[in-house]
Structure 1
Amino acid sequence: MRVLIVESKAELGVLWQKHLERQGMSVICVQSQIEATGYLAQEHVDVIVLDLILAQGSALAVADFAEYRQPLARVVFVTNTSFFSDGSIFAHAANARAFLCSTTPPEDLAAMVEYYGQTG
């Protein structure tokens, strides 16, 4: 399974990456909208772990681009804010499958990614 992590905080992205790789997943971690869309334009992914608040760019733009270029890719949104806590993210991003707090234990995030990577 191929996973793209889009997380502005490099240390958090690497933490998640290590947990996912331990589960046998192929993982790349980027920090911005430009890096994410560039990667999605060239490489196939099954799941995108996407921080809702990026320091550079828009997470919704990444999700929209993924919907266009890779319609089968599923997005697991993470955030450290209460924005979209009402579940409305699912109305804004058709490829959204989960919405988690960025403080979710990495092993729980890995379980969610594994689940959505195996299901449609």
Structure 2
Amino acid sequence: MKILVIEADASLGDIWCRHLERQGNDVEMASDEKTAIDKLRFSKFDVLVLDLSTKNASVLAISDFATYRNPDVAIIVVTANSFFSDGSIFELIPNARGHLHTPVQPDDLAALVEHYGRGPVRA
């Protein structure tokens, strides 16, 4: 499975990436909007792990572009903000498949990625 982790904190992103790689995934990381968009332009990803608190990045623009390039991409949203605890994130990001509140345990993240990265969700 090909995964793009979008996380501004390089050390945290590195922990997530290494854990997902140990699960047998092909993982790349972007720490800003430009890098994320460039990676999405030239590669197809099965799953995006998107931290909503990424500074200097419009995470909604990234998720929209990812969905445009690959309508079946599963997006796992990570946030420290309790504002989205009502589920509104699923209205803002239609391809959002999961929502995790920080701090995120790497095993929890890997479980969501594995579950939702298997293929498109069909109605």
Residue 29 of structure 1 and its aligned partner are, at CA, apart by 0.8
The size of the alignment, in residue pairs, is 120
In structure 1, distance between residues paired with 2:96 and 2:70: 13
2:87 maps to a residue whose letter is: G
1:117 aligns with 2:123: no
Residue 28 of structure 1 and its aligned partner are, at CA, apart by 0.3
Same amino acid, percent of matched pairs: 46
Q: How does 1:10-89 map to 2 (within 5 A)?
A: 10-89=10-89
- TM (normalized to structure 2)? 0.94
Contact 1:52 1:79 in 2 (8 A): yes
1:51 maps to a residue whose letter is: D
Contact 2:4 2:28 in 1 (8 A): yes
In structure 1, distance between residues paired with 2:115 and 2:107: 12
Residue 34 of structure 1 and its aligned partner are, at CA, apart by 1.1
Residue 83 of structure 1 and its aligned partner are, at CA, apart by 2.5
1:97 aligns with 2:101: no
In structure 2, distance between residues paired with 1:117 and 1:30: 19
Q: Which residue of 2 aligns with 1:4?
A: 4
Residue 102 of structure 1 and its aligned partner are, at CA, apart by 2.5
Unaligned runs of 5+ in 1: none
Query: Any runs of at least 4 consecutive aligned residues in structure 1 with deviations exceeding 6 A, and if so which?
Result: none
In structure 2, distance between residues paired with 1:104 and 1:54: 15
Residue 104 of structure 1 and its aligned partner are, at CA, apart by 2.0
